[in-house]
Amino acid sequence: MKLIRFGLPDQEKPGLLLPDGRRIDASAFGSDYDEKFFGGDGLARLAAWAAQNAASAPTVDANARLGPVITRPSKIICIGLNYADHAKESGAEIPKEPILFFKATSSITGPNDPLVIPRHSRKTDWEVELAFVIGKKASYVSEADAMQHVAGYVLHNDYSEREWQLERGGQWVKGKSCDSFAPLGPFLATPDEIADSNNLKMWLKVNGTIRQNSTTAQMIFKVPQLVSYISQFMTLLPGDVISTGTPPGVGLGFKPPVFLQAGDFVELGIEGLGESRQVAIAAS
């Protein structure tokens, strides 16, 4: 299945993207895509509901805003420098084990909502990433069992303010957590929709120029490794988002570096997970 949420900010309704391309309103299903939904039998019940009701369910208007594909999760966990070439362009060593950092859940926004350049920002950057959503509580999970805890995959642009991330002291979170810095979507694809999450083409353009062009096969630490590894340090709850890192081609890596300004537009996509587009605007 491909899950969507649509409607005005903070008023989103659950929906589905059907194989024929039609988007339907799944409000009658009776549950939003939240921790309770993923932690119970929500996906199975939704599939059963769709089998009986998809043909007659209301169609979502083609111009309707798409919201974040899930409700606000308990946490967003990101993996730093998970592509060797990106580590190199960042001037960092290739990590021997996953680098973890958090991104504030208040940064989540819809896939095509504006990117708000924060006040006083000088180095706002882009990062196309594969993210996945936890579907079952995970603590001390083995790699062999890890995929039982994955509910699905989603496209994520892990926006970063590099000065605040790297030059202002402290951890990376302050440069990762600004409002609008985590567009998720356009949809969440359940694992049966993705043949191999470790071999997906991914790309990103800025103002129509390709900047990132790679594949998830280049990830140092793969999805099962990440679920197992992170669960040794904290309990992963249903609905939690894990973002797996970005390939080379970020603005920080150019010589001289290139960063986003109001009026720029960013387009990105991952094979099987659709595309998104954000236009940069200045914070009010």
- Predicted confidence at residue 204, as pLDDT, reads 98
Q: pTM of whole model > 0.95?
A: yes
For residue 143, CA distances in Å to 16, 84, 97, 185, 279 come to 30, 22, 15, 26, 39
**Is residue 20 very low, low, confident or very high in pLDDT (cuts 50, 70, 90)?**
very high
Q: Given this model, what pLDDT does residue 133 score?
A: 98
79-128 confidence digits (pLDDT tens): 999 998 888 887 888 899 999 999 999 999 999 999 999 999 999 999 99
Please say whether the beta carbons of 125 and 199 come within 8 A. Answer: no
**92 three-class SS:** coil
Secondary structure element (H or E) that encloses residue 162, with its range: helix 162-166
Per-residue pLDDT reduced to its tens digit, 36-78: 999 999 999 999 999 999 999 999 999 999 999 999 999 999 9
- Residue spans of beta strands (DSSP E) within the chain: 2-6, 13-17, 23-25, 76-80, 99-103, 108-109, 115-117, 124-125, 128-134, 150-157, 160-161, 182-183, 188-189, 201-206, 209-215, 241-243, 265-270, 275-282
pLDDT tens figures, 272-284: 999 999 999 999 8
Looking at residue 250, what DSSP letter applies? -
* Percentage with pLDDT > 90 across the chain: 94
Nearest to 242 by CA among 159, 144, 156, 176: 156
Residue at 158: amino acid letter: D
| Cβ neighbour number for residue 173 with a 10 Å cutoff | 14
What is the pLDDT, as a whole number, of residue 94?
86
Judged against a pLDDT cut of 90, whether residue 171 lies above it is answered with no
pLDDT in tens, 108-121: 999 999 999 999 99
CATH match of 76-282 with 3.40.50.300: no
Query: Distance between CA 35 and CA 47 in Å, rounded?
Result: 17
Q: Where do the structural domains in the chain lie, given as residue ranges?
A: 2-53, 76-282
For residue 68, say if its preceding peptide bond is cis, omega within 30 degrees of 0.
no
CA distances from 138 to 32, 185, 238 (A): 21, 23, 8
- Express each pLDDT in 182-214 by its tens digit: 999 999 999 999 999 999 999 999 999 999 999
Quick one: pLDDT at residue 189?
98
